[in-house]
Structure 1
Amino acid sequence: MAKSLLIISRQAPWAGPSAREALDIALAGGAFDLPLGMLFLDDGVFQLAPAQQPAQLQQKNLAANLQALPMFGVEALFADARSLLERGLDAEHLTLDVEVLDDAALAALINRFDQVVTL
C-alpha cells in the first residue's frame, strides 16, 4: 500500500522555485496514483489568487499547472483560512476549488498523512 503524502506549499509563486517544485511533485505523484494532498499555507495562498500577471516579473504562469492538479488525480486541495485572511484573499474568488481549513482542521489534516513535504 502506497504511503500518503501531503505537500505544503508556503511560497508565493514569484518568490523563487519552491512553488513550481511543489506543483511538480504533486503532478508527478498524481500521475503515479500516489495518495496525496496539497495544502497552500502562508504566502503559498498567493498561488490561488486570480488575475496574476507573472510576465511582469519575468516569471512563468503557474495557473495551467494548478488547473491540471485535478486531472492528475490531485483532488485533495486545501488552503489555510488564516493565511487567506491575513493576505486579503477571499476563498470564493480563488482560482482552484480548495477546502479552507481553520487551525484545528490543519493539525488534523497533517496528522492524516503518512509523509509531509514542505516547500
Structure 2
Amino acid sequence: MAKSMLVISRQGPWSGPGAREALDIALAGGAFDLELGMLFLDDGVLQLAIDQQPVHLEQKNLSANLQALPMFGVDQLFASRSSLVRRGLGEQSLALAVEVLDDDELSVLFERFDQVVTL
C-alpha cells in the first residue's frame, strides 16, 4: 500500500471536472493518513490566481477547497515555475502559499512520493 501520494492538477479551474476532481482526491486522501502533496502544473496553476470570479461562468469558486487543503493534511503544495511564467502569474499573485519549483526540481519531487496521480 502506498505511504505517500502526490496529486498533480493540470487543468484550469473551469475547463472541466479535472481541477475539482484533483482537489477532491487530495482532500479525501487526508482520511487515509497518507503523506500528501499537490502539484499545480500547466493550466492547473490558474487555480492559484487571486481574484477569480467564477460567478460570471456560472461556476462554483474553488478557492475554499484550496484553502482547506492544509486542514486535511495536504500541506505540501507545489507549483511549476515555468507553468506560472507561461501564464503570466508571479509568485506574489497567488492566492495560496506554494513552493515554486523549477523543471529539474519537479523530477526530484516525483521521486519523493510512492504514488503519483495526474488529473
Give the aligned partner of residue 12 of structure 1.
12
The answer to whether the aligner puts 1:104 opposite 2:101 as a matched pair is: no
**Quick one: which amino acid aligns to residue 68 of structure 1?**
A
C-alpha distance in 1, partners of 2:49/2:17? 18
Query: The residue matched to 1:44 in structure 2 has which SS?
Result: helix
How many correspondences in the alignment?
119
Verify the 8 A CA contact 2:2 2:115 in the aligned structure 1: no
Verify the 8 A CA contact 1:110 1:116 in the aligned structure 2: yes
What are the within-5 Å matches in structure 2 for residues 1-119 of structure 1? 2-119=2-119
Verify the 8 A CA contact 1:10 1:44 in the aligned structure 2: yes
Query: The residue matched to 2:116 in structure 1 has which SS?
Result: strand
CA RMSD, Structure 1 to Structure 2 (Å):
1.0
**Quick one: which amino acid aligns to residue 62 of structure 1?**
L
C-alpha distance in 1, partners of 2:58/2:42? 23
**Quick one: which amino acid aligns to residue 47 of structure 2?**
Q
- Which runs of no fewer than 5 residues in structure 2 stay unpaired? none
- 1:31 offset after TM fit, Å? 3.0
C-alpha distance in 1, partners of 2:52/2:93? 13
**Quick one: which amino acid aligns to residue 69 of structure 2?**
L
C-alpha distance in 1, partners of 2:70/2:31? 11
| Identity score, percent | 73
Q: Deviations over 1:16-71 (max 9, x none)?
A: 00000000000011233211100000000000000001111111100000000011
- Which runs of no fewer than 5 residues in structure 1 stay unpaired? none
C-alpha distance in 2, partners of 1:82/1:37? 19
**Quick one: which amino acid aligns to residue 60 of structure 1?**
K
- The TM-score, its normalising length taken from structure 2, stands at 0.96
- 1:111 offset after TM fit, Å? 1.2
**Quick one: which amino acid aligns to residue 106 of structure 1?**
L
C-alpha distance in 2, partners of 1:113/1:32? 15
